[in-house]
């Protein structure tokens, strides 16, 4: 992705230096003073991709939002002449706390001049894509830059959940070394009798995990997807062994897998995809890994399954009601239980990945301003602009 939009023309004229580093235009009058050029509104700070930010500033008036509430945001929009693009970040502590979800109501209040909404995140359940599309607003996410870091996080959870490392850490913290560790409940992912990794959602992250787990750990890979992938992609998922095997139903994948790893987007169809019925179909020794979105899993059902030993364990980086975590899941990660290995949604939180995610968004905005179309949009808008 680093070479995306290389060679695009960039205007030479820069904004006159402003006193504030962010170059915020503090009033409606100031907004309108520069209204001869397109305006780009940053709902969140660009902290890392400074070179791309300067290139964008050479092309447009870049304004940092000062809104502290949804109502203030709506009023701020009215003061912005020539607003063409909005940049936002998916983080739960970011602008989502100000604007709320971009639902039908908020979309109806967006200015007619707005053409582009670039969302810094792989998942985009915070956006009502149907309403945005009907309003003629092109939307992009960051689908590829997150593949490596998120799949690495998933791989760590796969290993840790299979080997019961959460329990080992808990026992160590309580003053015990390894004398109490139940090694008969810890399993190697490969070696004799390779474990089966079941991928639910074979997009970029799911395919990257399959490649890493098969090459590094010797795992066998099966997957369930909305549609079967081409044979060459299946082969690339397992470069050192038999191609990844497509299974027609989720139920079959659940029954056969030693690890079920979730990589599907959060949609009305996937909300609660994994509940009691699905967990009951898994092997008693199997583990569930989720680096997709928390609400894909019914956490109450998962907690019950862990408490009753209906499944062997879980590795989670996302949660149903972030930042809150189900009390039973927390208990299962502590107090000597050790059946849940938990991370606080850090799948993409690395310097390299966060820098590239910002850069991808800014390059896409610049491409949109220059051509009238984003370089890429979310899947639901394919062929619509």
First to last CA, the chain: 22
Distances (CA, A) of 331 to 244, 326, 366: 36, 9, 47
Whether omega for the bond prior to residue 299 falls within 30 degrees of 0, making it cis, is no
CA distance linking residue 8 with residue 372, whole number of Å: 13
The secondary element (H helix, E strand) that includes residue 180 is none
Say which of 47, 307, 322, 380 is annotated catalytic: 322
Residue 21's H or E segment, with its range, is: none
List 345, 358, 363, 367, catalytic entry: 345
The per-residue b/e assignment along 94-108, b for 16 or more CB within 10 angstroms, e otherwise, is bbbebbeebeeebbe
**Strand 313-316 relative to strand 340-342: parallel, antiparallel, unpaired?**
parallel
Give the HSE-up count for residue 134: Cα atoms under 13 Å, Cβ half-sphere.
Answer: 10
Among residues 155, 82, 85, the alpha carbon closest in space to that of 119 is found at 85
Q: What is the C-alpha to C-alpha distance for residues 92 and 318, in angstroms, rounded to an integer?
A: 12
Told to judge if 322 belongs to the known catalytic residues of this protein, a careful annotator would answer yes
Contact 206, 261 (CB under 8 A): yes
Q: CA triplet 72, 361, 267: central angle to 5 degrees?
A: 75
| Residue-wise burial string across 193-229, b where 16 or more C-beta atoms lie within 10 A, e elsewhere | ebbbbbbbbbbbbbbbbbbbbbeebbbbbbbbbeeeb
Q: What number of residues does the chain have?
A: 385
In this structure, what are the phi and psi dihedrals at residue 107, rounded to the nearest 5 degrees? -60, -35
Catalytic site residue from 163, 263, 293, 326: 293
Tell me how far apart the alpha carbons of residues 200 and 256 are, in angstroms, rounded to a whole number.
Answer: 13
Clarify whether 227 is annotated catalytic: no
Active site residue 293: yes
By annotation, the residues acting in catalysis are: 293, 322, 345
């Amino acid at each position: 992705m680093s070479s995306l939009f290389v060679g695009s023309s960039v205007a030479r004229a820069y904004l006159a230096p402003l006193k504030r580093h962010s170059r915020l235009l503090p009033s409606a009058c100031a907004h309108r003073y520069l209204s001869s050029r397109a305006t780009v509104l940053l709902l969140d700070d660009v902290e890392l991709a400074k070179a791309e930010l300067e290139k964008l500033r050479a092309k447009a008036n870049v304004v940092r939002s000062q809104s502290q509430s949804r109502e203030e945001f709506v009023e701020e929009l009215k003061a912005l002449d020539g607003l063409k693009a909005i940049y936002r970040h998916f983080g739960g502590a970011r602008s989502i706390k100000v604007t709320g979800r971009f639902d039908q109501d908020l979309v109806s209040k967006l200015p007619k001049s707005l053409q582009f909404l670039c969302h810094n995140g792989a998942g985009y359940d915070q956006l009502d894509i149907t309403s945005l599309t009907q309003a003629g607003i092109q939307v992009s996410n960051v689908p590829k830059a997150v593949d490596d870091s998120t799949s690495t996080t998933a791989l760590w959870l796969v290993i840790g959940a299979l080997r019961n490392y959460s329990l080992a850490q808990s026992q160590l913290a309580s003053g015990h070394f390894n004398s109490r560790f139940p090694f008969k409940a810890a399993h190697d992912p490969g070696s004799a009798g390779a474990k089966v990794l079941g991928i639910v959602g074979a997009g970029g992250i799911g395919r990257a995990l399959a490649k890493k787990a098969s090459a590094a750990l010797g795992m066998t890979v099966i997957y369930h997807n909305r549609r079967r992938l081409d044979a060459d992609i299946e082969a690339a998922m397992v470069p050192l062994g038999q191609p990844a095997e497509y299974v027609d139903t989720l139920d079959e994948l659940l029954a056969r897998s030693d690890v079920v790893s979730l990589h599907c987007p959060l949609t009305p169809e996937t909300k609660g995809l994994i509940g009691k019925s699905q967990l009951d179909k898994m092997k008693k020794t199997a583990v569930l890994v989720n680096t997709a979105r928390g609400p894909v899993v019914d956490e109450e059902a998962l907690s019950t399954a862990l408490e009753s030993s209906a499944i062997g364990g879980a590795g989670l980086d996302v949660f149903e009601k972030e930042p809150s975590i189900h009390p039973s899941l927390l208990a299962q990660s502590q107090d000597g239980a050790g059946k849940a290995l938990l991370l606080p949604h850090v799948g993409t939180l690395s310097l390299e990945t966060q820098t590239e995610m910002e850069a991808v968004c800014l390059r896409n905005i610049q491409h949109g301003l220059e051509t009238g179309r984003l370089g890429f949009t979310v899947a639901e808008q394919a062929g619509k602009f």
